[in-house]
Chain A
Amino acid sequence: MRPYPDICKLTIVALKAALESGELTSAEITQAYLDSIAAQNETIFAYLEVFAQAARKEAAQSDERRHAGKALSALDGIPIAVKDNMLVEGTKCTCASKMLADFVSPYSATAVEKLRSAGMVILGKLNMDEFAMGSSTENSAFGVCHNPWAFSRVPGGSSGGAAAAVAAGMAPAALGSDTGGSIRQPASFCGVVGVKPAYGTVSRYGLVAFASSLDQIGPLTKTAEDAALVMGVIAGHDRRDATSDATLSTDFVPDMLPTLDGLTIGLPKECFGEGLSMPVYHSVQAAAEQLRAMGAKVVEVSIPSLPYALSAYYVLSSAEASSNLARFDGVRYGYRVKEYADLDELYRKSREEGFGIEVKRRIMLGTFALSSGYQDQYYSKAQQARELLRYEFGLALESCDALLTPVAPTYAYKLGEKTADPMEMYMGDLYTVPANLTGLPTVSVPCGVAEENGELLPIGMSLLGARNSLKKLLSIASVYEREVKPNAGLHPYEHLCKGGDRA
């Protein structure tokens, strides 16, 4: 049997080929990942729970199916891990919160059902910021997650566990959720690909809601092509989600274009100004040059209302969250305080003790923004800003095939570096929130590394396009990956063998 590091650095495309040729079995692949998790999770803490036994069983069943010529899909037998805010029937769904520490899912999310019907093997549930609120996975009630590139640094968030798992070779793919950048920013911090599909592409049924009008499920993978394969499994109209959009295309397989001739890439000037760190600025500008060299026309565009995006996002997402999280009241399920004098105290204490500080901060912010007397000033104004942004992005995309921006203003920062100042943490979402406010699809692709005190830290670029353009964005990303090979040979998963006992 091949050692697990050999297997864990393979892309899904490669795993798929190995399964098809019989070179590898799902059991071997799954075991390799379980070994990888066993070796690394204590250090990285990407997983909150590992379904080792169930995964082995699913893998064996997949091998039987494939052997009988009855594979359920091209990805039958490929393992995947799921952020712990998506329900997998019969297993805990904690949202990394004390509030749901013992909550067992009575049903499965549509996206999870789709993984199952494709025959994919679910490895376990991934660490995250509590209820997906945060940008560093430091808000997990069960322990912080570490960046596999530099253990003293954050993996980003809120899908930090998902990005760290893929970057460390602890899963070939992961499902994350993105409300304001929660897939793309950790993907950027961990040097992997992250996709935030257009709103309505993937069903939200069974995703524990943070901000319903912004939430989307998407994949984190090693490459854009891998992401397209996973998207093909999880996308599609779902009658259980009224916001799921039947008109969106479900074909994501990238065209392997020889050049980028005829494509126009826009650089919103508002995304390259104050607040952007120099290494990120240079990496993304260099990427723009490379895209130009591959034949794309690169132009400067303007989104004048972009400076309002962050405020609008924090008002709207918190307002919706304050309502979505009200159901966690200690009455029917979830954390309930042991002693209480009356109903009011049951509510108050259960929520006080069950929620972490960041979640409470957002609930209070959102409750305030919706309060009578303040709603016009905050919630309604934020909706107006959202409309304005939709209009301005639409206008920019009339002349551009994609907009290129940084994913985050910085690369991964140190654990604890920004926890004291929530405002500074929020500022990090500046470039990612517009995609959620506008509902547009966006791909985060590695585009370089910064070096700090001998540590290599990945940097990501973001490609955003029109509502139905995810296939095109993934095509551009694939061509870029093919030509530039960003971070080639540098990823932690390619260095699994370097560590002492991993040799």
Chain B
Amino acid sequence: MNWEMVIGLETHVELNTKSKVFCTCDTAFGAEPNTHVCPVCMGLPGALPVFNEVVLHHAAMAGFALNCHVHHRSRFDRKNYFYPDLPKAYQISQFYRPICEGGWLTVQTSAGEKKIGITRIHIEEDAGKLVHDEVSGTMLDMNRCGVPLIEIVSEPDIRSAEEAVGYLRKIRAILTYIGVSDCRMNEGSLRCDVNLSIHKPGEPFGVRSEMKNLNSFQSVERAIQAEYERQIAAVEAGEEIVQETRRYDQKTGKTSTMRRKENSADYRYFPDPDLPEVRLTDEDMALIVAAIPMLPDARREAYMKDYGLSAYAAEQLTAERWLAEYFEETAALAKSAVSAANLLQGEVFALVSARAAEAEKNGQPAVEGRKSLPISPENLAKLSDLMADGRVNSSTGKKILGALFAEDCDPEVYAATHDLFTVGDDAVLLDAVRRALAESPDMVESYQKGKLTVEKALMGKAMAITRGKANPERLAELLHSQLKQ
């Protein structure tokens, strides 16, 4: 029997509140070091934390969206340890009474749908950042100190790297849907610790190792694979797996020991006497639940049922909330939701990724979310209709789309001013066909000798004569009938 991997994930998600969890400092990413700090988040003597209630709202909403039991009462505890990035030498967290417990989510894998349990979600504060500089030595940026986090702890239900990544993608989709986090792994607003052990199915779980602070889906996937293989090799060589924290090195693709269990800190958790118990009333909870939008799973089902989209298209268009909302707005204005979906997934996605690649090449910052798509749903719906109605063909459609990306405008007006409407007038088309044939007597000859494939080349010529505007079906018909004559 094969070794099975058993994985539990601890996911740290930065909540996108304006101010920090226990003070009023700004949480914005990327500011000058130590500019978003105050006596509270710097842990100065005498400073006291005051809980930002928006964090409670966001954490509870995450809990409801992840099918958790959200508690009416929760409490903060201190996790005590020394490290320069932790100015109070304790992290305010929720150990004994977290806000949420017992949830789940589902992921779609190649083997079908899988339900993964969530043990708990608790609120905590982020630490600062050590910046190592060869000249100045190690420096400390405390802007991140006190940025609100939720830690989502999964049950050890995950059995493959694919499931682990699927779980993280689903967490990201749900949390961005409900708008409580940006979940940007590159900015550290979504980070993941992987707990992994191996066993033979039917046997008890093995001893687990923990890999900390993985910050991309790819490194999660690779770290899992590497650690799985290491543990198998170790066990098969007769070695014992010890409980420890391991580091995954992206360069070597290997994991190595960071800290053994016996050397791990005793965090001496105890209730933080500076912070009273946190309470949520039934009314608070009802308001939070009512504010949760339709989540990706439900939307996917709805797109298939209501718009007749394929499962693939529905999955793609619900991956992010802004996209789903953009699509829904466009579909509502367009004559055909399927055409709008096709346009969006095809030409629009292609242009978006081309632009992203271009920006990356030029070292420009990535434009994400709704901003990456600079066309209003109204205009995209109009273009979708123009194409569906055959008033512009796919090549002019592409041309118009490119223009809209440069400067959003009414595609109908654009097509009119640039003379891009499909030409369906038989006299004009016939003229183009005749000119194409007249200009290429050799091709006509080949055709007549039985080389039927030149018809395509002749079609291109005729289309070029109309400057790409011809109704392609009609043009093809006319060309075909002329060749047959």
Interface residues of chain A, those whose CB is within 8 Å of chain B, are 86-87, 93, 95, 100, 103, 105-107, 109, 204-209, 211-213, 239-243, 319-320, 322-323, 326-329, 331-333, 343, 347, 367, 370-372, 375, 379
Contact = CB atoms under 8 A, between A and B. Distances in A.
Interface string B79-93: 010101001111000
Contacts of A95: 45
Contact of B48 (A100, A242, A367): A242
B273 interface: yes
Contacts of B82: 326, 329, 347
B46 A209 contact: yes
Nearest to B76: A242
A32 B89 CA distance: 45
The interface centre, meaning the residue of B84, B87, B268 with most chain A CB atoms within 10 A of its CB, is: B268
Contacts of B293: none
Interface stretch (B36-44, B237-245, B451-459): B36-44
Nearest to A333: B44
B224 to A, nearest CB: 30
B45 A323 contact: no
B64 interface: no
A206 B46 contact: yes
B274 interface: yes
- The A interface, classified by DSSP as helix, strand, loop or mixed, is loop
Contact of B276 (A87, A239, A242, A328): A242
A331 B139 CA distance: 11
A205 B46 contact: yes
Interface residues of B, number: 29
B46 A207 contact: yes
A208 B48 CA distance: 10
Nearest to A214: B273
Contact of B89 (A87, A209, A327, A370): A327
Contact of A326 (B49, B89, B270): B89
B266 interface: yes
B334 to A, nearest CB: 51
A205 B48 contact: yes
Contacts of A103: 45
A213 B78 CA distance: 14
A207 B272 CA distance: 17
Contact of B87 (A93, A332, A379): A332
Given A212-B274, A242-B49, A372-B268, A323 B43 contact: no
B51 interface: yes
Given A93-B46, A370-B269, 17 more contacts: A93-B45, A205-B47, A206-B46, A209-B274, A211-B273, A212-B274, A241-B50, A242-B274, A243-B48, A320-B270, A326-B80, A326-B82, A327-B87, A329-B82, A329-B89, A367-B268, A372-B268
Nearest to A366: B268
A320 B45 contact: no
Contacts of B266: 371-372
Interface string B56-88: 000000000000000000000010101010011
B270 A332 contact: no
Contact of A370 (B44, B46, B84, B268): B268
B289 interface: no
A201 to B, nearest CB: 15
A258 B82 CA distance: 59
